[in-house]
Amino acid sequence: MGIREFPSGAPRGKSIAVGMRRSPDVSPRRLSDISPQLRQLKYLVVDEAIKEDLKWSRSVEDLTSGPVGLTSIEERILRITGYYGYQPWAASCKREERPRDSPGPAEAQAPAGVEAGGRASRRCWTCSRAQLKKIFWGVAVVLCVCSSWAGSTQLAKLTFRKFDAPFTLTWFATNWNFLFFPLYYVGHVCKSTEKQSVKQRYRECCRFFGDNGLTLKVFFTKAAPFGVLWTLTNYLYLHAIKKINTTDVSVLFCCNKAFVFLLSWIVLRDRFMGVRIVAAILAIAGIVMMTYADGFHSHSVIGIALVVASASMSALYKVLFKLLLGSAKFGEAALFLSILGVFNILFITCIPIILYFTKVEYWSSFDDIPWGNLCGFSVLLLTFNIVLNFGIAVTYPTLMSLGIVLSVPVNAVIDHYTSQIVFNGVRVIAIIIIGLGFLLLLLPEEWDVWLIKLLTRLKVRKKEEPAEGAADLSSGPQSKNRRARPSFAR
């Protein structure tokens, strides 16, 4: 009928209750006995949402049980009309006294309910297992990101003691990006049910660049600029390691998250968030304090400027990628990074050669090059980029970002035992401020809504606890009296 069902014996409104008699001894059995009340139902205005609710609120028994269903409809009408003399339990008792030859829908629903409960519990158990698995993988990814990023930074510092060529090291490590797509294809063959050939997979991933695929024009307009930004980011970072300690370099590079937000807000017109503006201000304040920590010496100022420039290039790379190319799938991202490696081999190789012959980055013989350090640094950097780009498949993106922050204390501990770094108060405060700003940038966009919900739940729990305590106190003396009565009677 499109009207909400209410408790028995309770009138819904005055318009329906007018003209009704109280007759506790008389129970109407036919619809004709309440025809005046049925006429009043024509003037009721029913909301569409209530109609939809009632459309699903009819039980299976009302629709399939024949005369029993008609009786239940009568009971609903009597409840809706607010007839005071109606006693629903009497009808239900008579209905239960009728003999049943075969199991009704109620009995058929019991096993179904048990099955539904079992399915729900299995679903909850599966969800909890999936979440635990994701958190477990998240911890593993955090450790991998932290160790690979801190290890590559420390190994680069160690390499520069024997091989003072940051651009050559950047070029050598970027060449390893060529392995991204082959490694992805191996994982695709091992895991995917529908296996494709290398050519088919390559053509499918090339659709990321447009309908025509990877053409020469697309290569120079959409891949080459990112190859330049990639090289600049790594070169400035490695050159800064020569000037200042690895702790300062790693903590200052965390400011790239704030730069990404500012560029996204300006270029991509992303949503404005006050907490992220605060995080950006904290990042800038941390940079200033880090510069002040060493007394504005030339080496420290140049090193800090190089790291900030590296973080800016990294932020520009991410924002331009989102602006020009959008979001990429795993295969598309792997192909894009491999193309950056190809671009590095074809067009950047000439720069280390020029630097070698101009003796800007010179080494006496190839035997003096620490190939172990160079290969170790390249493997660690490749691992870091693989986990950072493909770790989202197994865990949450926020956990992966935490690995970059955790590399700061790891580098601080290593620098404390291997170098002459001085952790004065200004440097410690700067590290804390930049780290706090980075963590604020990890907050989701709807963090304030979640916080309000959490505070509301805590308030409800606090209100329920005193009520339960009062109920226990009131029931306590009564139970004692009840227990004391038999002993007193004796």
- pLDDT tens-place string over residues 54-82: 444 444 444 444 444 444 555 555 555 54
- Rounded to 10 degrees, what is the CA torsion of 130, 132, 135, 141? -80
Whether the per-residue pLDDT at 293 is higher than 60: the answer is: yes
H or E stretch including 61?
A: helix 60-64
pLDDT at 315: 93
What Rg value do the Cα atoms of the chain yield, rounded?
36
**CA atoms within 13 Å, Cβ hemisphere of 266:** 11
What is the domain partition of the chain in residue ranges? 134-449
Note the pLDDT tens digit of each residue in 301-351. Answer: 899 999 999 999 999 999 999 998 888 888 999 999 999 999 999 999 999
Q: What span, in angstroms and rounded, lies between the C-alpha atoms of 243 and 55?
A: 73
**DSSP readout, 355-375?**
HHHTTSS--S-GGGS-HHHHH
Q: What span, in angstroms and rounded, lies between the C-alpha atoms of 133 and 192?
A: 20
Do 133 and 127 touch, CB atoms closer than 8 A?
no
pTM for this structure? Answer: 0.68
Note the pLDDT tens digit of each residue in 128-140. Answer: 777 787 788 888 8
Return the residue matching tokens 């405060």: 429
